[in-house]
C-alpha cells in the first residue's frame, strides 16, 4: 500500500467511524477505528495526515458517545500519557474523571490544563462545575464566564437564581398538572436538592453522573402493590443546581425544570428512557 493509498484508507475509516458513532452504531464505529489503528501499527509510523493517537482519541470519543465513560477515560488517558503535548487529551481525561466522580483527580488535571492553555474553554467550564460542588459559587461563575467568552455558542453563562424562586417555579408546574396525574402523585414527594450527594453518586456501579438533573427513586406505579408502596418509598428528586447551570435565563430555567419534572413523573408512570425520548423528554 502506497502512502497515498494508506492515507486515503485511513480517512475513509476515520470518517466512517465518526458517522457510525453519530448514528448510534458504536460497534461498527469501534470496528473501523480499530482497523485504522491496526493499519498504522502495521506500517510502523504515523502518516502526514493521520496519527495513531488520533484513532485512540476517536475510540475514546465513540465510547463516550455510547455512555461508557470508564472505557472513554482509559483511552483518553492512554493518549495523554503517550502524547503529553496533546492538551485535548488531557482536558478530555479531566472531563471523564469528573463524570466518573473522581473529583480530586479531575480538579488537579483541569487546573494544569487551564494553566498550560488558558484559552481552553472546556477546562474552565468543568472547573466551574467542580467549584459548585465545593459551594464556591462566585468562583464557579468566574470560570463559567471565561468559558462563555472563549466559546459562547457552546458554554452558556448561567443566571443565578435563588432556591426560593426554584421552589415557586416547581410548585407552579405541579399545579398545572392534570387532575388525574396530580392525584396519582399524592403519595410521591417531590424533593428539591442542590446537587446529588457523593453517597447517592456512589450508590450505583459505575457511579451516577454528577450532572444528573433528577431521579425517580422507587417502584413505578405500574409495578407496585400496596405492600411494595410501604416497603419501598417512592420519591422524585430534582437537582436544581444542575438544572440552572444549563439555563441562560429564567425562561430557559423554567423550561428545563418542567422537562425534568415531566421526565421523572414519566418514570413513575412506567415510561422507559426510549418512551420519554419519543415524547421529547430526554
Kindly list the domain boundaries of the chain, sorted by start residue: 3-150, 163-278
- Tell me what percent of the residues of the chain surpass a pLDDT of 90: 61
Give every strand in the sheet of 214-217, ordered side by side.
190-193, 235-239, 214-217
CA nearest neighbour of 62 among 28, 93, 88:
28
Q: Which three cell numbers stand for residue 242?
A: 444542575
pLDDT at 226 over 60: no
What's the average model confidence in pLDDT over 243-253?
Answer: 89
DSSP class per residue in 186-245? TTS-EEEESS--HHHHTTSSSPPPTT--EEEES--TTT--HHHHHHS--EEEEEHHHHHT
What's the pLDDT at 281?
53
Looking at the predicted structure, is the pLDDT value of residue 47 above 60?
Answer: yes
CATH class of 163-278: alpha beta
Least confident range of 133-142, 165-174, 192-201? 165-174
pLDDT at 234: 83
Res 183: pLDDT: 87
Answer whether CATH 1.25.40.10 is correct for domain 3-150: yes
pTM (two decimals) = 0.89
Amino acid at each position: 500500500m502506497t502512502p497515498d493509498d494508506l492515507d486515503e484508507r485511513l480517512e475513509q475509516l476515520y470518517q466512517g467511524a465518526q458517522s457510525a458513532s453519530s448514528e448510534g452504531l458504536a460497534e461498527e464505529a469501534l470496528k473501523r477505528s480499530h482497523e485504522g489503528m491496526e493499519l498504522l501499527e502495521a506500517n510502523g509510523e504515523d502518516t502526514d495526515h493521520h496519527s495513531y493517537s488520533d484513532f485512540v482519541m476517536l475510540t475514546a470519543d465513540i465510547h463516550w458517545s455510547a455512555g461508557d465513560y470508564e472505557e472513554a477515560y482509559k483511552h483518553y488517558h492512554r493518549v495523554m500519557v503517550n502524547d503529553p503535548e496533546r492538551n485535548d487529551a488531557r482536558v478530555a481525561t479531566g472531563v471523564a474523571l469528573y463524570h466518573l466522580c473522581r473529583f480530586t483527580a479531575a480538579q488537579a488535571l483541569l487546573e494544569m490544563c487551564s494553566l498550560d492553555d488558558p484559552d481552553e474553554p472546556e477546562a474552565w467550564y468543568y472547573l466551574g462545575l467542580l467549584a459548585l460542588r465545593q459551594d464556591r459559587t462566585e468562583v464557579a461563575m468566574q470560570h463559567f464566564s471565561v468559558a462563555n467568552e472563549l466559546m459562547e455558542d457552546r458554554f452558556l453563562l448561567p443566571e443565578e437564581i435563588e432556591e426560593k424562586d426554584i421552589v415557586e417555579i416547581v410548585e407552579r408546574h405541579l399545579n398545572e398538572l392534570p387532575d388525574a396525574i396530580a392525584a396519582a402523585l399524592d403519595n410521591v414527594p417531590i424533593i428539591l436538592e442542590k446537587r446529588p450527594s457523593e453517597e447517592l453518586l456512589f450508590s450505583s456501579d459505575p457511579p451516577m453522573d454528577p450532572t444528573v438533573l433528577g431521579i425517580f427513586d422507587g417502584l413505578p406505579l405500574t409495578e407496585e402493590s400496596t405492600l411494595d408502596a410501604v416497603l419501598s418509598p417512592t420519591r422524585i428528586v430534582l437537582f436544581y443546581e444542575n438544572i440552572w447551570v444549563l439555563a441562560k435565563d429564567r425562561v430557559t430555567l423554567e423550561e428545563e425544570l418542567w422537562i425534568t419534572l415531566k421526565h421523572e413523573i414519566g418514570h413513575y408512570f412506567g415510561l422507559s428512557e426510549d418512551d420519554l425520548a419519543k415524547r421529547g423528554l430526554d
